[in-house]
Chains A and B, each alone.
Chain A
Amino acid sequence: MTEATKTTEEETIRKEIHKLLQDFSSTRENLIPILQAIQTTFGFIPQEALRETAAFLKISLGEIFGVATFYNQFRFTPPGKHPVKVCLGTACHVRGGNIILEEWERRLQIQEGKVTEDREFSLERVACVGCCALAPVVQVGDIVHGKMSPSAVNGILLQCELAKREEDKTHNGTE
């Protein structure tokens, strides 16, 4: 990436953030809601956003970074197009959640916490999504898949692949 494109990108981020901060008053209690709003907009928390928030709330960048890193919700790298969250709550654990996680790692060829090279998938473990009755559970995007098995991982991957092909087709068709 050249310096010029990098600055324009930072500029767009800054603009977005300014727009987003208009909904909040400048008090410390709003820090977590602001960080959540940033993550909803960008899918992660860009460095630039932390700097802008620090200036807005008049607290140090270090303090904000300390809060942001304390909570599991916030991530500092962009997620994949399909974020995969493997639940490892108690019920999922005793029903083989870790085996499902390993299967994802094998299929996507990435470790937990990482993103695939084509940025299609990111893989992470979560403590509990509260669907224990359907254990083991995997959340892909907003969709919760219950009663998972290693072979069901393949099925989900295939669905995503087909959806992508369909999308490419319509995309190419309109061009």
Chain B
Amino acid sequence: MELNESIKKTIEETFQKIKTQASELWQGTREGEAPYILVGTATCGRASGSFEVFKAFKEEITKHNLNAHVIPVGCMGHCYAEPLVAVRKPGLPSILYGNVSPPAATTIVKHFLRDDNFLPELMLAALEPNDFLPSIADFPRFALETRTILRDFGIIDPENIMDYIARGGYEGLSVALQRDQETIIAQVLASGLRGLGGAGFLTGKKWEICFKADANQKYVICNADEGDPGSFSDRAVIESSPHQVLEGLIIAGYAISASEGYVYIRNEYPLAVKRMKAALQQARDLGLLGKSILGSDYNLDLKVFEGSGAFVCGEETGLIHSLEGKRGMPRHRPPYPALCGLKNAPTLIDNVKTLANIPFIMLDSAQAFAALGTDQSKGTAIFSIAGKINNTGLVEVAMGTTLKELVFDICGGIPKGKKFKAIQIGGPSGGCLSHDFLNTPIDFDSLKEAGAMMGSGGMVVLDEDDCMVDVARYFLDFTQKESCGKCTFCRIGTKQMLLILQDITEGKGNPEDIEVLLDLAEAVHQGSLCGLGKTAPNPILTTLKFFRDEYEAHIAEKQCPAKMCRKLISYYILPEKCERSCEVCVGSCPTEAIYTAKRRIKAIDQEKCVKCGACLDVCPPQYSAVVKFSPADSVPPAPEKLGEEK
């Protein structure tokens, strides 16, 4: 299809007009005389009170009659230090402050904005290298991270389309609309971009199939049904830069000639839903969405659809069924949705992070993208990291970065000096990789080979206190609840595996259980239709492969080596370590199981103890008198209660 030169000109002119306007606005707020304050207001920030901080800044600035902008932004990636605030005052280095409370906000306004005092006690680092303050460039995290998709995160206001455009947004769309569809698809193919939703299928290939499908009506869908427990990267992307995803989706729609589409977001993410809805409206108002986009003859109508909380709807055929108002049960593939999807029309479904890559591929050439990463996995990977790790948050690294660099250099290792045990990648479909795999590069194929998978970008780090049998039980509990029930093996097999794992964690395991688990795992994998059932046994298989000794200890010795399985442990207060006059454990116990024995030593009544671990948490570190024993009956007898000795 040859594009008419005059249409190309209209597109370019229409876009440039918007862009000029956006640049002017940007200069007004970010490049003018007035200082500005950026407050992280994604869900992590809000849960830590960033909303109150935002208000405090506004109030204090009005009080002192200062001229400064307070701008809400998205996720800056450092969830461990939320609420995060970046302050820029022209002429001084910009400062990043962490763990900001409303009182700290008033201090920052008074001392930094008014009196030019940097407040080193509150700051994390300066944002630019300078002569007198440590800057973020001095931290390994910033040296090792490759922020391409996340480059505007924490800088732009996610609810303001003009911010995004001023930073180069929608330029990719303008460029794409001036090209024919084959060129765009060839460009995506050349970039080597693979789907970041889990399976890692070549994105350009999928577009090509859908483009070639012959139909009057086609659909394009952004899959933001991020159901994996422990993963929040899709949420953070939408909450921080919704337009980036939207732009990718519109380009995808144009490439395959879709006329309608959906952004499918799970309802558990109310802020992401709200911001995406606002983004659609703003794009419509500027003529970037709807009829005759940017003056071209391409029309696309997009809607937000809220998923109703079924994990299996992340699977594309399940998702389609739920869009059609049915139970979200997956169906057999082929035919793939690219040929026969929503209402039997060709449907292109891409993950949030995949689409967020598209604007860059359109702008910076495909070669620039392909230069990042490894041979088979191009570009970057975005991970949300949580669990037993110092610096939780959102990280973007080039493909090929090793797990070790990610865990220890970028995220600061394991808290409280504990030992690293495993890293769980890919949620319930993925696996746990042990210490031996720390040198594995992060890319689709290496992770798969190791037994895990890229999955949807969630990583949970486990330390020596985490029991691998319990982790497997946890994931089986999840998949068993979320199984839609269509395939017998998935429906009944996951239940049986869960029951066996439950028995093992309660000390009721039998020696033959491990073999039965392996048999069932194979059967469930073979006998299930969709990804949920096929991958459900992965947590069991990987933990059995790398931590078989833990299973055996549970079964043979009724002992939990990590001292986590509550039926197999007892808490005990070491008399020689107990400080005696400190009563903090007594107050912490929810069931009044701690009593005072002779010489005011504290002791635990095993009958009453519910093994919540509150006493262990509160016992001051200089005493560390509370310990765990496993097996449960190996605990020494408790001393007599005071007053009962006579």
Contact = CB atoms under 8 A, between A and B. Distances in A.
Contacts, number: 151
Contacts of A131: 43-44, 47, 232
A21 B500 CA distance: 48
A106 B328 CA distance: 35
B428 to A, nearest CB: 8
Contacts of B63: none
B610 A102 contact: yes
B381 interface: no
B227 A36 contact: no
B509 interface: no
Contacts of B270: 142
B308 A32 contact: yes
B204 interface: no
A72 B460 contact: no
B325 A31 contact: yes
B610 A94 contact: no
Interface string A75-109: 00000000000001111011110010011001000
Contacts of A151: 588, 614
Nearest to B228: A128
Interface residues of B, number: 60
Interface in B415-443: 424, 427
B646 interface: no
A19 B323 CA distance: 23
A71 B268 CA distance: 12
Nearest to A30: B325
Contact of B327 (A66, A128, A145): A66
Given A91-B386, A128-B230, A150-B612, A71 B309 contact: yes
Interface string B60-85: 00000000000000000001101000
Nearest to A106: B590
Interface stretch (A114-122, A133-141, A165-173): A133-141
Interface in B195-253: 226-232, 235
B384 A94 contact: no
Given A89-B229, A90-B229, A134 B47 contact: yes
A95 B389 CA distance: 11
Contact of B47 (A72, A94, A146): A146
B326 interface: yes
Contacts of B610: 102
B440 to A, nearest CB: 20
A40 to B, nearest CB: 10
Contacts of B475: 90
23 contacts: A29-B323, A32-B305, A32-B306, A67-B326, A72-B308, A72-B309, A73-B309, A90-B229, A90-B387, A90-B458, A90-B474, A91-B229, A91-B387, A91-B460, A128-B231, A128-B268, A130-B268, A133-B232, A144-B43, A144-B46, A144-B47, A146-B44, A150-B590
Interface of B: 43-44, 46-48, 79-80, 82, 226-232, 235, 267-270, 305-306, 308-311, 322-328, 384-388, 392-393, 424, 427, 458, 460, 462, 466, 471, 474-475, 478, 482, 484, 588, 590-591, 610, 612-614, 617
Q: Please provide the 8 A-B residue pairs with the shortest distance between their CB atoms, ordered closest to farther.
A: A90-B230, A133-B79, A132-B386, A71-B308, A31-B325, A89-B229, A91-B386, A72-B309
Interface of A: 27-33, 35-36, 66-67, 70-74, 88-91, 93-96, 99, 102-103, 106, 126-135, 137, 142, 144-146, 149-151
